[in-house]
Amino acid sequence: MMLVDAARRSPRIDPQLAWTAAGIAMLAAVGYAGAADLRISAALVGGVALVAVAAVSYQRPRTMLAACFSVVLVAGTKFRLRQASDSLDGSLDAQILFELGLFAAAGVAVLVCWIAAGDRRRPTIIEVLMGGYAGIALLSTLWSASPVLTLVRAAQLLVVSGMAIAAVRMLTPAGALWTACTSVALYAIACSVIGPTFPWASEFADASDRVRFAWFSAHPIAVGTLAGIAALGLLSTAFWTSPHRRNRLLGIPLAWHATPLVVILVLTNSRGPLLAFIAGVCTLAFLRLPWSARIPLVFIAAASSLVMVVAGPNLQEWLFSAYMQDSAMNHLFFQGQSAEGLLGLNGRLDLWTDLAPVMAEHPVLGSGYQASRATLLDVASWAGYAHNALVQSLLDLGIAGTVALGLLVAIALSAVVRSSLAPWLRGTSAALMVFLVLNSVGTESFAGAPGFETLLLFVCALCATSGPSSFSRTRVTL
């Protein structure tokens, strides 16, 4: 009895107060550990940020998916130059940690958005090919010459693949493609404004008396590629109504906003993106024509090409003759280089010839996803990549990965012209895929490190093979 009375008289501890005290003690311990080691602090901040991203993604999945396009663009920005061998050594710096953190945030956002949407539709053939390509890249870690690099890049490829599938399913095909176009347009214009304004953010490459515009430490070809993609996306509104049915921004037609992007493309002095852009514009114009005009135009183009091949002038002699002329177009085309250098694609043909024995050593599975860099540096110290998407894919994933990627592109290109697609979606997807494929002749493009070009190719392929698109379900804004 006395023990019971004593227990009744003892003060009761509020459970909430106890949990609060325990939380304060835990935070104090974590704070002490974080002050002692900055890596712990960074990990804690990153963990809290990922939790916040997950919470917002669950509440607003469509908004977060649209934002992920900009996240991928920022993650791929080169803020400073790095040696090509640094990635093989596994060296980490602030730029790499920033890139990995953004991809982690994008991966969490895509996963949570998918869960929130509850999409249970069966995968399409393009989605299966994308999954197979990413799966081969992940499996190549087992035989990779640089397993850590392959694992990281394969994880990024999985994020990009999942993002493309989720965006097309949740934003609708037209909404996903329009979001990609507007995101890269805003990104390119913003970087171009920051570049001339702040000296630390502007870098001009000077080679062979050429001045080439670029931002931060990005290569002029990469800058020209993004500017060309953005310009094509906005120019498409001059041929068809945009997905959100607004053809003006600030009282100016959307197509006119492509003018500064075309100027940026020209200032980069990058032939590959410029020629690919011209081909993309021709694709837009061709698909705008009725079928009665397309068929004769195709026959005329085929006949002209045949005549040029059979009885046309010698290409080498024509280039030497054009090289001796003094004109603005001549300077833009040759860019201070010789005709021999142009015929050799600035050393690319020699590089591909030297890489042929390397590809023959691992013909089926390759050296591992993005792990061929060590071999490339041995062959040519200036080549961090193969400067060609086909060669890069054969080096990294061999015939297996190249077939998966090639089938994806081939099926998408063959399906993009079918009449069941909305006109803007069909034309823009075709023009962008033509741009990416032609641009990949002189650069690794979508076969290189996963980034916006890979994401855009996947989105275009998914859009090309999708069903009829309804603009009424597209809720995107510029």
DSSP, collapsed to helix, strand or coil, labels residue 172 as: coil
**The pLDDT of residue 169 is above 80:** yes
> How much is the CA Rg of the chain, to the nearest whole Å?
26
Distance CA 442, CA 274 (A): 12
> What pLDDT digit, counting tens, does each position of 200-232 carry?
565 554 555 567 888 888 889 999 999 999 999
Instruction: Specify the range with the lowest mean pLDDT, choosing from 19-28, 78-87, 389-398, 412-421.
Output: 19-28
* C-beta separation of 351 from 379 below 8 A: yes
Q: What is the pLDDT, as a whole number, of residue 475?
A: 43
Q: In the predicted model, what is the mean pLDDT of residues 465-471?
A: 60
More confidently predicted of 406 and 210: 406
- pLDDT at position 56 over 60: yes
116 belongs to a structural domain: no
What count of residues does the chain have?
478
Across 245-273, average pLDDT:
82
Residue 9 lies in a domain: no
Strands 210-212 and 248-249: unpaired
233 falls within a domain: yes
Residue-by-residue DSSP string for 48-88: HHHHHHHHHHHH-HHHHHHHHHHHHHHHT---S---TTHHH
CA 316/CA 378 separation, integer angstroms: 31
472: pLDDT confidence band, cut at 50, 70 and 90?
very low
Residues 426 and 286: their CA atoms lie apart, in Å, by: 12
For residue 440, being part of any structural domain is answered with: yes
Q: What is the spatial distance between Cα 172 and Cα 114, in angstroms, rounded to a whole number?
A: 14
pLDDT band of residue 400 (cuts 50, 70, 90) is very high
In a domain, 428, yes or no: yes
Burial readout 175-200 (b: 16 or more C-beta within 10 A, e: otherwise): bbbbbbbbbbbebbbebbeebeeeee
Helical spans, DSSP H, in 198-239: 220-235
Number of domains observed in the structure of the chain: 1
- What span, in angstroms and rounded, lies between the C-alpha atoms of 163 and 434? 22
Residue at 77 is within a domain: no
Per-residue b or e along 293-332, where b marks 16 or more CB atoms closer than 10 Å to that residue's CB: eeeeeeeeeeeeeeeeeeeeeeeeeebeeeeeeeeeeeee
Residue 86 counted as domain residue: no
Q: Please report whether residue 92 resides in a domain.
A: no
User: Containing domain of residue 319, as a range?
Assistant: 123-473
